[in-house]
Chains A and B, each alone.
Chain A
Amino acid sequence: MKKAGIKIENLHLSFGETEVLNGVSLEIKPGEFFAFLGPSGSGKSTLLRAIAGFGPKPKGRIMIGNKDILGLDPWKRNIGMVFQSYALWPHMTVRNNVGFGLRERKLPSKLIKTKVDAALDLVDLSHLADRMPNQLSGGQQQRIALARTIVVEPEVLLLDEPLSNLDASLRVQMRRELLRLQRQLGLTTIFVTHDQEEANTTSDRMAVLDGGVIQQIGSPQELYDKPSNLFVANFLGTANILEGKIEILGNNKRFLTKTGDSLSLSEGSSTVGNYIILRPQNISINHKKSKNSLPGKVRHSEFLGSQIRYIVTAGGTEIVIDQSHRAGQDWFANGTDVHLLVNTSTAVVI
């Protein structure tokens, strides 16, 4: 299958008066598994559908390979889309569903049969070829929807929240399946989700959207470790945000919190910003004070299985600390005065 890259340039889209996509630009490399991540209403589905050609016509450019497809009708774009509801046609058999696109392309029926069989084989559902969609389970329907799109050999594959209608256990299995399939076919794929775990575990790179604006683009790790704004920091994982200002004393960079605590900053950290982001697993909770520590009081603790989560009042706010749980270990009781040792090499200043 041909690999095509996707380039979106300064896309604007409005529903009536409301602006839904505000100057979106991004580039997806050929063969990449790319995620659009964001809360509901962020514009991620709208962006996906705009690429497919559904919804009001946007302004800007959408390039697939070298072609600007913005003005093309959906049926003229060679893009495959799997819908959230799978959209299998209930009045057709599985075989006819899968073969639909090929029939539209007027391929000879023998060829259609071969290709359909191959596609069904790829998703391991050849034995269901003559069933009706209402006889299939959720997971099976999803795979058929996938087969239906793959069989026409599109340049790009779009997946609109494909896993959200499955139960939790199936989701994990299916996302691994999806990734495996994608690697096998090498299709450039965009995967829309609101679930960061899905995005983290499958995508090569992702874009976080909020309010129709791209917040940050990068690999899951980059976005997690180096969020470029508070939204991304908060959206991916839990973020402890301390407000304050930067103090530079010679070679020493320090972050002074509102409550007067001072944290040293590493060499490479940014010196511009009013916030510092600390991840829960990068803070340790101690009885003893140390050089880079914040004093605080334990307010609440939760047992999360592999972690113990402490909520500690410190630095003028509530800090979340995750500590690995080992059997037999002592807990810090509520109300205990503690010191939080911060690993500032992982802290991010925004």
Chain B
Amino acid sequence: MPQNPYILKGHADRLAKWLVPNLSAIHLVAVFIALLLIGLLLVPVAQVMIVAFQDASTGAATLQNFIDFFQTSLFRESFWNSFYVSAMSVVVATAIALPLAYITTRFHFSGSILIQSLGFIPLIMPPFVGAVAMQLIFGRNGTINLIIREKFGFDIPFMNGLNGVILVQSIHYFPFILINLSASLRNIDRSMEEAAQNLGSHGLRLFRRIVFPLAMPGYIAGAALVFIKVFDDLGTPLLLNVNNMLAPQAFLRISSIGISDPMGYVISVILVIFSILSLWASFLFMRGKDYTTVQKGGGGMAKRILKTREKFLSYGVVIFILLLVLSPHIGLLLLSFGTIWSYAPLPDGYTLQNYVTMWESSKTFITNTILYASIAATLDVIVGTAIAYIVLRTGIFGRKGLDYLATAALAIPGVVLGIGYLRTFHNLDVPFTNEPMASWWVIIALALMIRRLPYALRACTAALQQVSISLEEAAESLGATKRRTIQKIVIPLMAGGILAGFVTSFATAAVELSATIMLVSSNNDAPLAYGIYLFMQTPSGRGAGAALGIVAVIVVAIGTIASQVIIERNKKIKSTGDSH
């Protein structure tokens, strides 16, 4: 006789029932995760928000700090600059992505592989690493300008002040827009376009009146993401020496004046509010405009064959963008192999010494990175899977809240999280030791975990959605407990997605800088990204720093490729399974 699947068995369940009679093990897990998220995300951020509203010397509630902020021209300027840089980065990124998206979706373009790789290459170079290299190539006296000045007598202020930040960020982030825009263009029902052509429209008019409005939601989603990421980024402006933006100002205030400076907190509040506003605005824009449900087919636009002149132009555009996108990589490679690079288009000479130096002094950085990123990624997929299961498979009260809380980490800039942790764990000591928690290496790993959790959660949710609930029900009707079902059926079926989530989490945590730079107190605890930052602070260290940067790029590249391969392989397994 089959057992009633709703009778809970197993140690975990019995323990739960003993502790709290009305809760099952899953309830306990949910509570634990909620506490974790509250303690590691909500409380630090709340702390930051609260301090911003407190008087620095009395602790009384006040808006004075905000008034001071907006009355100080430097901060107003920083606010405007952050906004300007983010918006312009979106514009430039769109300018790069739009022709590429158009070429791939509108034409039979044999260089499509090229364009796909364009969507991947920028993302494997952490922007702050690329910034130094871009400075060497596009800077005031960098490669390009030296050559142009000699031949033509003028130079182009690519990297001057805010321009440098905009250039580095757009080159790094345009893939987000490219991918989203291409996807929404591809999702357009071909008959939408044909109906318009049938009624007399074509060319640019058609694009403007029909195609682009339909692709708009996808575009906005990508653009909003880019905007927020640029707005919150600390590493790039810092390494480009641009200080009159919000994130670097927050960092500078806290690190040079101390955690008692109210301005750092005020800036944090503004960063967070703005991030949330942008996310909300894009969500609002998307709602009611989900055109995919109204369009029945897909098929994308009809693809034409390129005429020779168009082929020429297309290849020209693609190769130009490819060179632009590869410039930080090329620059970094040259710097890593270069001897001295000073006021010259290229390094004076080449050597392997930098790699040797790097290897000798970076072992701690690398082992730390592996440790932190592993912990972060592991916790991410465990928590991510748990939340995904709780949200999709149970009716536990507040499960949506868990989902939102975990995803909310997206809106919290790394620098704010770092400040929050410093503040929250400042007076606490690590259990059983005398060490202040704020300088304990574990919180770096935890910060990384929280920052990557939204992405891992998304991967795990997607993986779980692909597992039909009837598979679980079949197992339970044959006598398996919930726990065994999860263990034997659900998790193995999710394995591909979980693994992909782990790898992506690992690869991106390995090169995170914004929160790390706030939380590293000793060089012994420093990971890769911080190591690169340190190297770049000495004359003899630039080559080694570049070499370490190349290591970082390789780590992220391998991670991204591996994750893609796993997802593809997973899809194949699923689809062959379905066809039986």
Which residues in A have their C-beta under 8 angstroms from that of B201? 75, 100, 104
Q: Does A83 contact B (CB under 8 A)?
A: yes
Q: Does A15 contact B (CB under 8 A)?
A: no
Q: Does A336 contact B (CB under 8 A)?
A: no
B302 to chain A, nearest CB (A): 7
CA gap between A79 and B195 in the complex, in Å: 11
CA gap between A155 and B123 in the complex, in Å: 53
Decide: A83 near B195, CB < 8 A? Known: A75-B200, A90-B295: yes
Residues of B contacting A: mostly = helix
CA gap between A145 and B296 in the complex, in Å: 14
Decide: A85 near B191, CB < 8 A? Known: A100-B199, A101-B199, A105-B200: yes
A32 to chain B, nearest CB (A): 21
Which residues in A have their C-beta under 8 angstroms from that of B483? none
Inter-subunit contact B214/A91 (CB<8 Å): yes
Q: Does B27 contact A (CB under 8 A)?
A: no
Inter-subunit contact B199/A104 (CB<8 Å): yes
B217 to chain A, nearest CB (A): 10
Inter-subunit contact A87/B194 (CB<8 Å): yes
Inter-subunit contact A89/B198 (CB<8 Å): no
CB within 8 Å of A: which of B198-223? Answer: 198-202, 205, 209-210, 213-214, 216
- From the candidates A73, A81, A90, name the one contacting B195 in the complex (CB within 8 A): A81
Q: Does B196 contact A (CB under 8 A)?
A: yes
Which residues in B have their C-beta under 8 angstroms from that of A53? 197-198
Q: Does B13 contact A (CB under 8 A)?
A: no
Decide: A79 near B295, CB < 8 A? Known: A87-B189, A90-B214: no
Which residues in B have their C-beta under 8 angstroms from that of A91? 213-214, 216, 289, 291
**Residue of B whose beta carbon sits closest to that of A134:** B294
Q: Which bracket fits the contact residues of A?
A: 20 to 34
Chain B interfacial residues counted at CB < 8 A: 26
Inter-subunit contact B294/A80 (CB<8 Å): no
Inter-subunit contact B198/A52 (CB<8 Å): yes
CA gap between A24 and B200 in the complex, in Å: 27
Q: Does A23 contact B (CB under 8 A)?
A: no
Decide: A87 near B200, CB < 8 A? Known: A54-B302, A133-B294, A134-B294: no
Which residues in B have their C-beta under 8 angstroms from that of A101? 199-200
Inter-subunit contact B200/A152 (CB<8 Å): yes
Inter-subunit contact B189/A79 (CB<8 Å): no
Q: Does A148 contact B (CB under 8 A)?
A: yes
Which residues in A have their C-beta under 8 angstroms from that of B189? 85, 87
Which residues in A have their C-beta under 8 angstroms from that of B295? 85, 90
Q: Does B297 contact A (CB under 8 A)?
A: yes
Contact with A along B286-299 (1 / 0, CB 8 A): 00010101111100
- From the candidates A79, A133, A134, name the one contacting B198 in the complex (CB within 8 A): A79
Q: Which residues of B contact A (CB under 8 A)?
A: 189, 191-192, 194-202, 205, 209-210, 213-214, 216, 289, 291, 293-297, 302
For the complex of A and B, the 4 pairs showing the least CB-CB separation, nearest first, are: A101-B199, A104-B200, A87-B191, A87-B195
Residue pairs across A and B with Cβ atoms less than 8 A apart, 26 shown, are A52-B198, A53-B197, A54-B197, A73-B197, A75-B197, A79-B198, A80-B198, A81-B198, A83-B194, A83-B195, A84-B191, A87-B191, A87-B192, A89-B192, A89-B195, A89-B210, A90-B214, A90-B295, A91-B216, A101-B199, A101-B200, A105-B200, A134-B294, A145-B195, A148-B195, A152-B200
Beyond the given A83-B194, A91-B214, A134-B293, please list 8 additional residue pairs across the A-B interface where CB-CB is below 8 A: A54-B197, A74-B198, A75-B199, A85-B295, A89-B195, A89-B210, A91-B289, A100-B196
Q: Which residues of A contact B (CB under 8 A)?
A: 52-54, 73-75, 79-81, 83-85, 87-91, 100-101, 104-105, 133-134, 145, 148-149, 152, 165
